[in-house]
Amino acid sequence: MAVDALDTRILRLLIEQPRTSVREYARILGVARGTLQARLDRLERDGVITGTGPTLSPAALGHPVLAFVHLEVTQGHLVEVGDALAAVPEIIEAFSTTGGGDLLTRVVARDNGHLEDVIQRLIQLPGVVRTRTDVALRERVAHRMLPLVESVGRSASPSG
């Protein structure tokens, strides 16, 4: 899906001022409210905008330990293991991957002992052969989209 300069400006506002009204976005951008709403609808329909909820902090919810757990899965059991991972509340993301494992999960825990308990639960899932865990020490780049949006917007702008 092509993102043009106006889309980029809209996305920037959504990222920087997520609680602003559509009417206010339209005023800031100098476009009609209907135009802005049509753009937002298209960006959602095309899957560019995938959510509007708040970003939550696992640490503030009592889970300050972050780890990435790689799971090696018996051939033919990837779907079943993936489905089982959805039942583990401490897994906040899971991806099928290439390389040293079949699945990569992002796991949060209350402390190291709790992390060990979660890993033991994962090891016991039918189809899991082994796990490898990397504990995050410090976040160096927080989850972000604005630099990518700006990069896409620059490449979509006509050269002049």
Digit-coded pLDDT (tens) for 78-126:
999 999 999 999 999 999 999 888 999 999 999 999 999 999 999 999 9
CATH number at residue 44: 1.10.10.10
Structural domain boundaries, residue 122:
56-134
Q: Do residues 128 and 65 share a domain?
A: yes
pLDDT digits (tens, 9 = 90+) for 20-56: 999 999 999 999 999 999 999 999 999 999 988 888 9
Q: Where does residue 99 fall: left (phi above 0), alpha (psi -120 to 50 degrees), or beta otherwise?
A: left
Question: Quick check: 157 pLDDT over 70?
Answer: no
Number of domains within the chain: 2
Residue 145: inside a domain: no
pLDDT at 121 (0 to 100): 97
Mean pLDDT of the chain: 93
